A and B are shown apart, each in its own frame.
Chain A
Amino acid sequence: MTSSPALTAAPTQTVQAFLDALARRDVEAAIAVVDPQASVTVHPLGVAGTGAGLLRNVLDDLVRAFPDLLISVGRVITTGDVVTALFKVEGTQGTDYAGAMNQEKHLDIDQAWRFVVTDGAITQVTAYWCQQQLYRRLAVKRFDEIAIA
């Protein structure tokens, strides 16, 4: 973690900086407030491991697949060092995503991301959303044939 204003920020401010960066589709700025050894779990994608790079891949895939990505934050709830963000992800598919071929469908998915913040950096991220809703919106018919429209 290089020096950053976020290092001294409160947990809410750190997560807000992450969300603001994601809303700007600025993945590097989002990752700048994530500890390099952060624990990353993205349940719907089956992603679980350690390292900011893991999260960077998840965000890169999202931003690339939905060039008009819109993040609308509904609530940010702070409970000690844990910050939970409830937001909607919207966009029009521009490339394949999560195995689903691009049919230029519109996505709108409510998500909940739980962050743990330590010393101004995000040290744990756990993301929840419904992949069934996501596939439904991208016109995927079967889980065992995701790439077949």
Chain B
Amino acid sequence: MTALDTRPRTAESAGEVVTEFFTRYRAHDVNAMTDLCAINAAFSYVPVELWGKQRVLRGDGTVGTIGKPLWTGLINSFPNLTNTVRTITANDEGDVVVEADIAGTQQLAWGLIAPAGKDYSEPHLFVFHVGADLLIDSITAYWNDAGISQQLGHNEVD
């Protein structure tokens, strides 16, 4: 599966692209993950928000500007980061919905959470859109960050 995939987009082929995305995520190959995405693919990790005194930074942008640095940082902080895909459904319009558990052991600081060597595993729901060229052009994810914080021993809401 490459960026030059010439198969027609169907539910099956769109689902295969996203399955490959999670395979590459398990391999910690962020460049290969982004190779499956369109150059300006939209990105939104809904729970990500850092409240400053004057503004809120959110996990919204593109795969290149927000997604890639975020995945890289996550893998650095959780060197054994992995994912388990629980369900994956797709349609011929390129929508792919995935339930996956993301898990890892913290070795470095992640956001405001100091490393304590603790494990986490949290259910996520991802909504992908795969374009007619079989490149992912949108990624949105939902999960409960409170679950991750508490599993890592961080009890402040922040």
- Which A residues have a C-beta under 8 Å from some C-beta of B? 43-44, 75, 77-80, 82, 84, 86, 110-112, 114, 126, 128-133, 135-136, 140-144
Per the 8 Å Cβ criterion, residues 71-101 of B in contact with A are 87, 89-91, 95-97, 99
| Cα–Cα distance between A79 and B97 once the two chains are bound (Å) | 8
Chain A CB within 8 A of B47 CB: yes
Closest chain-A Cβ to B48's Cβ sits at a distance in Å of 9
Per the 8 Å Cβ criterion, residues 133-158 of B in contact with A are 140, 142-147, 149-150, 155-158
From the candidates B11, B89, B99, B147, name the one contacting A131 in the complex (CB within 8 A): B147
Given contacts A77-B97, A130-B143, A82 and B47 within 8 Å (CB-CB): no
Q: Are A142 and B90 in contact (CB under 8 A)?
A: no
List, sorted by A's number, 14 A–B pairs whose CB atoms are closer than 8 Å.
A43-B123, A79-B91, A82-B89, A110-B46, A112-B125, A114-B125, A126-B125, A129-B144, A130-B46, A131-B144, A131-B145, A131-B146, A132-B149, A136-B158
A44: B residues at CB distance < 8 A:
144, 146-147
Q: Are B144 and A79 in contact (CB under 8 A)?
A: no
- Which B residues have a C-beta under 8 Å from some C-beta of A? 11, 46-47, 49, 51, 87, 89-91, 95-97, 99, 123-125, 127, 140, 142-147, 149-150, 155-158
Q: Are B145 and A82 in contact (CB under 8 A)?
A: no
A141: B residues at CB distance < 8 A:
156-157
From the candidates A79, A135, A136, A143, name the one contacting B89 in the complex (CB within 8 A): A79
Q: Are B127 and A143 in contact (CB under 8 A)?
A: no
A110: B residues at CB distance < 8 A:
46, 142
Q: Are A130 and B142 in contact (CB under 8 A)?
A: yes
- Known pairs A79-B96, A79-B97, A126-B99 / 9 extra A-B pairs, C-beta < 8 Å: A44-B144, A44-B146, A79-B89, A80-B91, A112-B46, A114-B97, A130-B145, A136-B51, A140-B157
Closest residue on chain A to residue B88 by CB atoms? A79
| Cα–Cα distance between A77 and B94 once the two chains are bound (Å) | 10
Closest chain-A Cβ to B128's Cβ sits at a distance in Å of 10
From the candidates A86, A128, A131, A144, name the one contacting B123 in the complex (CB within 8 A): A128
Q: Are A143 and B155 in contact (CB under 8 A)?
A: yes
Closest residue on chain B to residue A81 by CB atoms? B89
Given contacts A79-B90, A141-B157, A128 and B125 within 8 Å (CB-CB): yes
Most buried by B among A86, A128, A129, A132: A132
Q: Are B144 and A142 in contact (CB under 8 A)?
A: no
B144: A residues at CB distance < 8 A:
43-44, 128-132
Given contacts A82-B89, A143-B155, A133 and B127 within 8 Å (CB-CB): no
